[in-house]
Structure 1
């Protein structure tokens, strides 16, 4: 295999604390596993690390095979810090969330010394508290489970702790509200590193269709209209998501979905709640919004890359969904 054919590897180190909330591991890592299976360009290499080779999880199962905290991390690594619970199943008594003193302090010291520029940090649920104790959230926007927001504010006094957020990305630091919000965060990371098509495929396989953006109260346009189980429609939506700028017609998408154009149109209206053309335009607008906010491309270039025939057509479509024109949206961002 040539170097060009080899997948780009992203080393992922999952920190497993005492009394780990099992879903904080299983949910995000399952997203990465599915992303590895859905494509071959990028591979997430998972290593479970911690101060103890085995821990008792929130549901009473033991988690083993945990390797010691590494002395150094490679550039480009991602560290996921999982949360823990007060009262694991079967203990019969609450336990101090910040307890297990020596073990958790070992994690805190390791985070403090290991998270350097070039290494991404993602916290799930109360994992944010460990990051805060390590001083890694100072001056950043961050969040955690709603029951621990006051603890986070106390541990990171200069941080901007935000409520009512599924997750927040602040540079190389990402925090999530916990439990299933860790899945939302990981889908967003996969979309950024590998592409929306892979994130969509992973979400669909895991039967997670209504994933939202971190600070967006609405459904992400990339995932809106996917709360169904119809295979033919998913085939068409996957094709659109993989290449929004393609000159998609109902006939072309019907060929992808192995159905007639008339039947595909009927399926979209019934299951997606909009026409095929409206869905294509929404996905193109989602791509255009990323280009407007994430680049300095002119509106003609944005329109072309997003699949609109002209900047005028792009602005007309944009104005149907947004109060401000695209240029003003960029300036206000």
Structure 2
């Protein structure tokens, strides 16, 4: 993936990506929902395939577990000790009736989750996996969510939790909870973005052929996923070239030669396919890269501008303000980037 190689090189230089191996431990509970487990697992597996040193571990309090859909899992790892850098994910499960839930939670599971959190590990749940976190006392005083059909039950069973509806996922300190089923993918991408920035996360999402959906005031789209729904192969090729040379100074003639079109034909086709000119698209790529560099409080606005390919920091500031309505320094403050 030559385009991705350039992504990785660019943001590694910024210190955004972590290179030390990180474990992602999935707690596989009885009656686990397949997509709740498979969705986030696929996200971190894709991240590993694209260069991040993730190791996925599937563990349970017994070696064999049957899913809610009837597929059985065997040779699961035991509930081994958790390290502070580990990420623990609890997929959702079929809880059944109130009567059937009595004595449902094995004490070893609850103890393991409490130990993981007390040891400093971030913990996330998908769908009804939030109930396991509630049993471990990890939702007390925290904002959280679950599947829409289980919101009332979650609040009833764990009255000290602050249960939110209409949320894809909610993060409160080191505990993240997500809504039903497919939202586990959104949550996993969000966790990935916190670790590695939007540039890498957008590449993972594109690899998985999904869109990045975010919560709250965050931007709902990424430039690396926008403007790619057209079917013009030459424009796709031009977009890939621009992405691969985000920080470079590229002439329209060079870009046109790359895709074997005239400057006029390329400009017309690009505008028809994306609604932007090649120059506008390139500038938006640079601004998106700038949001990643702004996470580093050690970089000044001038240094951010230079790293994104702007020869003049004043041009960067003007372009940022015209696009977002405020200077980059204010954006950094508003979104708590620094």
The alignment's TM-score, normalised by the length of structure 1, stands at 0.79
Find the counterpart in structure 2 of residue 150 from structure 1. Answer: 152
> How far 1:291 moved relative to its partner?
4.3
Find the counterpart in structure 1 of residue 35 from structure 2. Answer: 23
Find the counterpart in structure 1 of residue 92 from structure 2. Answer: 83
> How far 1:111 moved relative to its partner?
0.5
Superposition pairs for residues 264-303 of structure 1, below 5 Å? Answer: 264-292=266-294, 295=297, 297-303=299-305
Find the counterpart in structure 2 of residue 89 from structure 1. Answer: none
**Larger deviation, residues 220-229 vs 57-66:** 220-229
Cα deviation, 1:147-203, whole Å, max 9, x if unaligned, reads: 233334445545544332222344433222232211122223334434545433332
Q: SS at the partner of 2:94? A: coil
**Is the Cα contact below 8 Å between 2:169 and 2:178 reproduced in 1?**
yes
Calculate the aligned-residue CA RMSD, in Å.
Answer: 3.3
CA distance change for structure 1 residues 242 and 25 in 2, over 3 Å: closer, same or farther?
farther
Cα deviation, 1:7-64, whole Å, max 9, x if unaligned, reads: 631111101112111001111111222222222xx32111111123222223222222
Q: Which ranges of structure 1 fall in alignment gaps of 5 or more residues?
A: 1-6, 87-93
Find the counterpart in structure 1 of residue 69 from structure 2. Answer: 59
Aligned residues: 316
Q: SS at the partner of 1:219? A: coil
Superposition pairs for residues 90-239 of structure 1, below 5 Å? Answer: 94-96=96-98, 99=101, 101-194=103-196, 196-208=198-210, 210-215=211-216, 216=218, 218-227=220-229, 237=239
**Is the Cα contact below 8 Å between 1:233 and 1:268 reproduced in 2?**
yes
**Is the Cα contact below 8 Å between 2:202 and 2:222 reproduced in 1?**
no
Q: SS at the partner of 2:138? A: coil
**Is the Cα contact below 8 Å between 1:140 and 1:170 reproduced in 2?**
yes
Q: SS at the partner of 1:188? A: helix
**Is the Cα contact below 8 Å between 1:51 and 1:103 reproduced in 2?**
no
> How far 1:217 moved relative to its partner?
6.7
Cα deviation, 1:188-234, whole Å, max 9, x if unaligned, reads: 333443454543333223221x2222334732344322345666655
Q: SS at the partner of 2:220? A: coil
**Counterpart-to-counterpart distance in 1, 2:99 and 2:289:** 42
> How far 1:137 moved relative to its partner?
3.0
Q: Which has the higher contact order (CA 8 A, sep 6+)?
A: 2
CA distance change for structure 1 residues 97 and 317 in 2, over 3 Å: closer, same or farther?
farther
**Counterpart-to-counterpart distance in 2, 1:290 and 1:197:** 7
The alignment's TM-score, normalised by the length of structure 2, stands at 0.78
Find the counterpart in structure 1 of residue 8 from structure 2. Answer: none
Find the counterpart in structure 2 of residue 10 from structure 1. Answer: 22
**Counterpart-to-counterpart distance in 1, 2:324 and 2:222:** 14
**Is the Cα contact below 8 Å between 2:141 and 2:161 reproduced in 1?**
yes
**Is the Cα contact below 8 Å between 2:126 and 2:178 reproduced in 1?**
yes
**Is the Cα contact below 8 Å between 1:132 and 1:156 reproduced in 2?**
yes
**Is the Cα contact below 8 Å between 1:143 and 1:168 reproduced in 2?**
yes
CA distance change for structure 1 residues 162 and 223 in 2, over 3 Å: closer, same or farther?
farther
Find the counterpart in structure 1 of residue 309 from structure 2. Answer: 307
**Is the Cα contact below 8 Å between 2:199 and 2:292 reproduced in 1?**
no
